[in-house]
Amino acid sequence: MKEIRSYNKLLNEIINLNIEFRIEIIGYVIYFNKIYPMLALKHLSKMANKTIIITSGQHGNEPYAITTLLKWLKQPIMIPEFNYYIFPCINMFGYAHNRRTNGARQDSNNDKSFYKDSPVKELAILYEQFPQTASLILDVHGDSGKSEVYCYEHKSENLPSIAEKAMIENDNLIPYLKTKTIYKIPVTNGVIVPPKEDIGIEGVLEKLGVQYSLTLELPAKFDGQKRAEGGVAIINSILRHFKEVK
Ligand SMILES: [Zn+2]
């Protein structure tokens, strides 16, 4: 199968980043006789009291989500109270072929397939590599039909919305969706509180004790450079506000 873009090139770009994260190859998948290694970037601190997970590249046809995360990786805000687990490209075959699904035509963005030895190979790898506990997970996606950013947010009861603050703060860089609903679900300040079963691998993460589970949807119909800058600013806002949460 012919590749649309080079996953190896992306691998090299990440491996050659001059950053504080430890970079590991955590497993690989094989499709059509081609090997696709999966990367994890970790930064563990003795001072840490919270663990955050950032994932991207679930859907190969949203490559700008990965581009944005790469830009963030080059200038991350390193908060000493956080352990970081970053999985920059989960669907490696999809990235190379600009396809939503993996090489077996499975959508990895599915909590029902997120368990030990999952038949979705990418999720089986991820399941083994996820930390034992986490306080926040941020999954960076894109929406091909939109020209504004929005975010899904699951959170424990009584906690403030950190996604709404991040949307409002960065509205000048990348405007958030101002409509009252999206896909028939109510939106407040660009943030959707989805039904529980409707957010990727979030169901499993509740067992890890996550306080926040966020899915950031970057708009496809937006200037690429501004989208990356706005996306980085939103990620940083989310992390800063999360730091303040008790
Ligand atoms: Zn997506």
Is the separation of the CB atoms in 54 and 213 below 8 Å?
Answer: no
Q: Which two tokens stand for residue 178?
A: 């101002």
Where do the domains of the chain lie? 7-244
CA distances for 67 relative to 24, 43, 56, 109, 218, angstroms: 19, 20, 10, 19, 11
Closest to 91 in 3D by CA, of 234, 201, 203: 201
Two tokens, residue 31: 């499709």
Cα–Cα distance measured from residue 92 to residue 45, given in angstroms and rounded to the nearest whole number: 28
C-alpha of residue 141 to centroid of ligand 1, in Å: 4
CATH superfamily of domain region 7-244: Zn peptidases (3.40.630.10)
Closest-CA residue to 4 (of 92, 107, 106): 92
CB atoms within 5 A of ion ligand 1 belong to 59, 141
User: For 25-72, how does the pLDDT look when each residue is reduced to its tens digit (9 = 90+)?
Assistant: 999 999 999 999 999 999 999 999 999 999 999 999 999 999 999 999
pLDDT tens per residue, range 161-172: 999 999 999 999
Task: Provide the whole-model pTM.
Answer: 0.95
* pLDDT score, position 208: 79
Distance in Å, CA 45 to ligand 1 centroid: 30
- The C-alpha angle with vertex 210 and arms to 204 and 215, in degrees rounded to 5, equals 80
